[in-house]
Amino acid sequence: MTLFDLGNLVRMRQIGMKLHGGNTGLALAWIYALSLAPAVFIWWNFEPLVAFLLLSALWALLNRRDGRSAVWALVGALTKFTPAIILGAVWRYRPPQKALRYTLITLGGFAVVYALLFAQNSAMTAPSLVAQFNKASYQTVWALLDGNYTTGNFGAADERFDPANAYRINGNPAVIPGVVRLGAAALIGAFIFWRTKRFDDRGLVAFTTLTLLIFFLQTQGWSPQWLAQIVPLLLLCFPTRNGVTLVVLLSGLVFIEYPFLFMRTGDTGGVVAGAQIVPFAGLVLGRTLLLVMVCVALYRRLRVALPDES
């Protein structure tokens, strides 16, 4: 277990205790520790670091340490974009003046760091920002529509030294452009933003989780390691048997997809073909449906003005 996984356990316990009490907080930490998804992902990517930074920003925000939370979110955004989604919750759960200060720290710091990187090496800095958005769709319902039955690998390591590769789409172009998907997600987010009635700590965590899931659902691709970010938030929002069952089901679907299914595509460069297409499509649709159902459950929770214990 890495240092960041230990940090995630601590954060899970701290946030769980604040939201649900001592015994539940400790139980959530143990459930996270025994979850297969985080245990597997620590061996081949840095997603636990991203989860740690997101949870740290959330923990500081729950404790009204907004400046510290903004710094955690800034460091998280410099590691991977997703921790910046906490800005949505900040604008919903803080007065405009405090939300603006938080945003200036996070996005202003991000801009300063990238300005320095651009000044040093603009040729390699620009691809680091746009490479993910230029990838063809993969492992999502959007990929099924586009006919891209493949993983989201960037290709061989030596190809990543050529910045021009960041602008090449290795696959079929999008049937539904990314700007349309992002615009639709923004409209859904705005709808939820204005209709939220729950403003306690549990509502803040639920709003953050829902924002993260909407972002993942609209993006052109899906990576199984994202469960390292999703699992702790799901457990914090649903600290019950249903929440544990949800994590098990989601982990099972993802593990069948990767590594089990994609282990059989080693000779094809990660391309799913022939008899594998039907189960691949079924896994993608099943995972997407499960995440959409979670989004609906979170939205319904945010529509309840008084805290609930479900």
142-156 average pLDDT score = 83
Higher-pLDDT residue of 98, 256: 98
Residues 192/53, Cβ–Cβ less than 8 Å: no
Query: Is residue 308 one of the residues assigned to a domain?
Result: no
Alpha-carbon span 246 to 249, nearest angstrom:
5
Q: Is the pTM of this model over 0.75?
A: yes
Residue among 148, 139, 114 at smallest CA distance from 128: 114
pLDDT attached to residue 310: 41
Query: Is residue 179 one of the residues assigned to a domain?
Result: yes
User: Which structural domain range is residue 77 located in?
Assistant: 3-302
pLDDT attached to residue 309: 42
- At 187, the amino acid letter reads L
- Report the share of the chain in percent with pLDDT over 70: 91
pLDDT attached to residue 157: 63
Query: Is residue 36 one of the residues assigned to a domain?
Result: yes
Alpha-carbon span 85 to 128, nearest angstrom:
19
Query: Is residue 106 one of the residues assigned to a domain?
Result: yes
**Out of 26-40, 54-68, 155-169, which region has the weakest mean confidence (pLDDT)?**
155-169
pLDDT attached to residue 130: 78
Positive or negative, the CA dihedral 186, 188, 191, 195 is negative
Q: If you ran DSSP here, which 8-state letter would residue 271 be given? A: B
Query: Is residue 110 one of the residues assigned to a domain?
Result: yes
- Residue 205 exposure: Cα atoms within 13 Å on the Cβ side: 28
> What are the tokens at 160?
């990543």
As to burial, measured by CB atoms within 10 angstroms (0-12 exposed, 13-18 middle, 19+ buried), residue 233 is buried
Query: Is residue 310 one of the residues assigned to a domain?
Result: no
pLDDT attached to residue 6: 83
Q: What φ, ψ does residue 200 adopt, rounded to 5°?
A: -90, -175
Query: Is residue 307 one of the residues assigned to a domain?
Result: no
120-129 average pLDDT score = 85
The pLDDT tens digits of the residues spanning 45-71 come to 788 899 999 999 999 999 999 999 999
User: Which residue bears the tokens 């679907």?
Assistant: 253
287 three-class SS: helix
Residues 251/32, Cβ–Cβ less than 8 Å: no
Q: What φ, ψ does residue 148 adopt, rounded to 5°?
A: -100, 95
Q: Supply the mean pLDDT for the chain.
A: 89
294-305 average pLDDT score = 95
Please give the tally of structural domains in the chain. Answer: 1
Per-residue buried b or exposed e for 102-111, using 16+ beta carbons within 10 Å of the residue's own CB: bbebbbebbe
